[in-house]
Structure 1
Amino acid sequence: MRGKPSKKILLAAVLSVASTLSAAEQVIETPAFWLESGQNSIKAAARLKANNGFAKNVILFVGDGMGVSTITAARILEGQSRPNNRGGEENSLSFEIAPYVALAKTYSANQQTPDSAPTMSAIITGVKTNDGELSVGMQVARQEKNAEVVNTYKVKTLLEQAEEHGLSTGVVSTARLTHATPAACYAHTSERDWESDAQIPAGAGVKDIARQLLDFGYGNGLEVALGGGRSMFLPNSTPDQEDSDKFGGRKDGLDLTQRWLTQYPKSAYVFNKAGFDAVDPQQTEHLLGLFERSHMEYEHDRLGDKAGEPSLTEMTEKAIDMLSKNKKGYVLMVESGRIDHAHHAGNAYRALTETVALSDAVRKALEKTNPKDTLIVVTADHSHTFTIAGYPQRGNPIMGLVKQPGEAGFAKDSNGLPYATLGYANGPGYRGGNGRPGLSPVDTAHPDFLQEAAVPLGSETHGAEDVPIFAFGPQSHLFHGVQEQSYIYQVMAHALRFKAGR
């Protein structure tokens, strides 16, 4: 159909990148090589045609804390893990081949540098709000206890609209399902930390976030909810299924996992990999998976988990299989939540491997969907103070110390000490005081190594710069230039033919 890119066109763009990579691995990069590479990219771009059709499905991927420097370093790390790679720099993550890219301004209604609550609220409702608040207007004061005030200013999410229009919906995260990013999809509250009733202060009439997931009052409710946060759903008298010496966290006695099973016909609740694998998407209408008491394991540590956990890719695939049964379509939000947590810890290795895992999940979604009817958006809620510095030679290990082209040893700082390529502007990796230590005998590529930080903080902070938006499918061409973060919602709603806020 005229105006709609075919899989062949998208494949041509992919092959253009792939041919550049292949050539980089096999030939000397002469001026002719680079000129030809550029011409191939021009030809691929010229073949792109805007898909002006509307979307049946929308999949939103959010890399929590995935700023530009994180994407760059993850791209190089993934590339350097492949045999015969030129150096890693020329690699591309799965979503970097998107035909349309834009930038989003991430400030919240009251802060230059935001947290995940207002940023995800902007993405999923089209309305910017205050830090710490979920899917309510900025008129609500943080920790407002009056439910009437919160309900007066709550703003409808894309998932709530989707359910009203008869579509299916799902939320997938490697963080707690009650954490800010996934919670913004279904909950309305003045405090992101009110995840269970145990966190809500006396006298507050606002429902806790876990309870709101079950009380999602639109359509058939969420069809898929997969992530961590089991303690927020279980009573404090109930032993945890994976760690029997630990208990749930709820004080009200409610077992929301059992309520899920009684509330929805043909439903399933799972807490481990075996149970997850046994779920038949064709026979299950509602699936709740809670794979950890708190956040799920980092991808690097996942295979060592006692009960076993599915990967982000596996959860994405299962969610698509379940939701795609609805002929009217679906809206799915997938979050790689632990990119953010690793950055806060000053641990670049885990942040980057989480980003690569997100890339794998996006690749699976691209394989399982049709670009003619599925809009796929990949973005971040905010950035971090993560830096790539120095003048390392091409192919220098991204996790290593800086070694400049033509130099036999490592580059030195003003005190004659080597330094790493990756670092943070602040965080727990500060090694100041009487002067920074030498890193020559240190394995900076070790998964547990904390990159150096310039300012000492117990937890590294978010960054305030713009974050990228990558888009495939119907109406993806509307992502262009530098936009307010709330614009992401507008494009998704427009692609689904929803009226904003209705």
Structure 2
Amino acid sequence: MLKTLLLASVAALVSTAAIAQESLPQESSQWFTDAQAKIKEVMARQPNTKRAKNVILLIADGNGVTTNYATRLWMGQQEGGMGDDFVQPQEAFPYLALAKTYNINAQTPDSAPTAGSMNTGVKQLFNTINVSDKAVFEDCASVKGNELETFAEMVSKDGKSVGVLTTARLTHATPAAVYAKTAARDWEDAVPEGCTAQKDIAAQLVDQMKAGVIDLAMGGGRRHFIDKSITLSEEENTKGKRTDGKNLIDEAKAAGAEYAWNTETFKNLKLDGKTPVLGLFEDSHMKYEADRTDEDEPSLADMTKAAIEYLSKNDKGYYLEIEGGRVDHANHDGNAYRAVTDGAAFSAAVAMADEMTDDEDTLIIVTADHEHSIALNGYCGRGSPILGLCYEVNTATGEGNMKHADTPNLGADNKPYTVIGYLNGAGSVLKEQSDKSYSGSRPDLTDEEAQDKEYLQQALVPMSSETHSGVDVAIYAKGPWSHLFDGTVEQNYIFHVMNQAVHGDGMDAAENGGAMEATPASAN
């Protein structure tokens, strides 16, 4: 019986090979030839198992698979194409996986523990950063003895430099995960009265700069570094939020750091690789890309270029986390326009990082911390503007029928609908009535109105701020050990690939910082 099965298998293989040699009517199609070329490209790949000198982790906050898709179409359509066949820089990376984003105690994740999981190797509790599951949210005393060691601390011990960039506040969840340990992500400039187990997040950043763990940090959030009684220069126009009388910007400068707060001072940074750098370009978050000018503040790509120039001066290498923080905020606002324009700015930072580094010695990982409750309608013809109305599929025969018809699809209410919508948010079609009940219907809408920068996409559940979702996010990677990204993984796995890439085979966590276990604060 076994012999019969083997013979049948051989015959099938021979038959398949014979068919493959036959001429197929579709083989001249570009779809066909492109797929054949892709197979050859994938088959030629050779895993890079060299030790990584540098690691760059790029996180577009809130840029899950659906948001990433929307940005892809927007970028492609801005170049005059249909959009769906456009390739963002990270989408050309050779290795890909999906990450599960839930927190230990939350099906729908928060940015603080998701970023923390990437920086420590273990999943964490909702709204906490880099403390173990033995800690308690908003319980300061529970922090002591439950601090986790970060990847930044580990590689700093190896002599590498560390940088963190964001378009959000530097004290916000994702950038804070590089350097801070806190029972509450909102303790950006103060901790509860009597709290001695930890400092506020801004103070922790300056402490880590003084300790030589963080060499370069740039983003927004000046207000969390100065007391409310302190006035900075008139141009900076910052009102502090601290209540301890401190000016942490002056403390950083007194410790030897260079400080930049606008485009001019950013361009004047020495970037010598030795002098610590602190850039705080806004009172709170940096501007949305749609509202930013080069005179206001540097772009994320500008900061990426400066950071790599600076960090590359260390012969032992570096770790750099780059966050496109405001994709998330635009989604929370229900404003797809700013979500995709900030997504495009993030893609420019990815391209910059890729251009300035060598795949042989630099592991680049591009991912998101979570997705949002964003959704895409159908059935849209190709080229339907991603921010506009969903147009009917063109079913005409012959060449030139790929682009959508000129007629918008209609709902059962005989009104057109947009390609993008949200399950909840400020754009809800349900409005509060005088009796506190909610009711409403969808308004008529033109394509021009839908593509306006200020337009909020239609949503279902009324909320002042749209929510995250628990959907998986993509991981794109290239460089040493990037082939370890495969299949569906837990989000904390990202840390372990970074660790493997930097420390090589046989790495014992206990010998390299013990990131798998809680370590006392005194060890840091």
Structure 2 SS opposite 1:55: coil
Q: How far apart in 2 are the matches of 1:226 and 1:359? A: 18
| Equivalent position of 2:57 in the other structure | 60
User: In 2, are the aligned partners of 1:376 and 1:471 still within 8 Å (CA)?
Assistant: yes
How does the TM-score come out when normalised to structure 1? 0.90
Q: 2:46 aligns with which of 49, 62, 65?
A: 49
Letter in 1 for 2:160: L
d(CA) in 2 for partners of 1:279 and 1:442? 43
Counterparts of 1:166-315 in structure 2, within 5 Å, are: 166-197=159-190, 200-205=191-196, 206-216=198-208, 220-241=212-233, 246-264=238-256, 267-282=257-272, 285-303=275-293, 308-315=296-303
Q: Which residue of 2 aligns with 1:12?
A: none
C-alpha separation between the residues in 1 aligned to 2:447 and 2:273?
A: 56
For 2:445 and 2:428, the matched residues in 1 are separated by 13
Q: After alignment, is 51-60 or 440-449 more displaced?
A: 440-449
- Cα 1:177–1:245 change in 2 (3 A) is closer
* Alignment partner, residue 445 of structure 2: 439
1:237 offset after TM fit, Å? 1.6
C-alpha distance after superposition, 1:149-190 (max 9, x if no partner): 313011111111111111000000000000000001101010
- Please say if 1:33 is aligned against 2:30: yes
| Matched residue type, 1:100 | Y
Q: Is 2:481 aligned against 1:469?
A: no
* Equivalent residue runs for 1:70-149 within 5 Å: 70-83=67-80, 85=81, 87-146=82-141, 149=142
**Which position in structure 1 is the counterpart of 2:400?**
none
Which one is further off, 491-500 or 330-339? 491-500
Residue 440 of structure 1: how far off its partner (Å)? 2.7
Cα gap change, 1:350/1:42 in structure 2, threshold over 3 Å: closer, same or farther? same
Instruction: Report the CA distance shift for 1:229/1:88 in structure 2 as closer, same or farther (over 3 A).
Output: same
Deviations 1:118-161 (A, max 9, x none): 10111110111110100000111101121xx3130111111111
Q: 2: distance between equivalents of 1:418 and 1:283?
A: 55
**Residue type of the partner of 2:221?**
G
Going from structure 1 to structure 2, the CA distance change for 1:327 and 1:208 (only over 3 Å counts) comes to same
- Provide the residue aligned with 1:360 in structure 2: 348
Q: Which amino acid aligns with 1:330?
A: Y
SS at match of 1:414: coil
Q: Secondary structure at the match of 1:215?
A: helix
Structure-2 separation of matches of 1:441 and 1:404? 13
Q: Distance in 2 between matches of 1:165 and 1:204?
A: 32
Matching residue of 2:460: 454
- Provide the rounded CA distance (Å) in 1 between the counterparts of 2:63 and 2:211: 32
Figure out how many residues of one structure are paired with residues of the other and give that number. 464
Quote the offset at 1:252 in angstroms: 1.0
Displacement after TM superposition at 1:280 (Å):
2.2
The percent identity for this pair of structures is: 43
CA contact (8 A) 2:210 2:255 kept: no
The worse-fitting range, judged by mean Cα deviation, of 101-110 and 248-257 is 248-257
1:403 paired to 2:401: no
The Cα of 1:388 is off from its aligned counterpart by: 1.4
Deviation at 1:41, TM superposition (A): 0.8
Q: Which runs of 5 or more residues in structure 2 are unaligned?
A: 1-25, 395-404, 431-438, 515-524
Query: Deviation of residue 204 (structure 1)?
Result: 1.8
How far off is 1:488 after superposition?
0.3
CA RMSD in angstroms comes to 1.7
Query: How many Å separate the matches in 2 of 1:331 and 1:244?
Result: 30
Mapped contact 2:389–2:447 kept (Cα < 8 A): no
CA distance in 2, matches of 1:56, 1:161: 14
Structure of larger gyration radius: 2
Distance 1:245 1:32 in 2: 60
Aligned-partner Cα distance in 2 for 1:441–1:377: 37
Divergent runs of 4+, >6 A: none
8 Å contact kept, 1:241–1:271: no
Instruction: Provide the TM-score with structure 2 as the length reference.
Output: 0.86
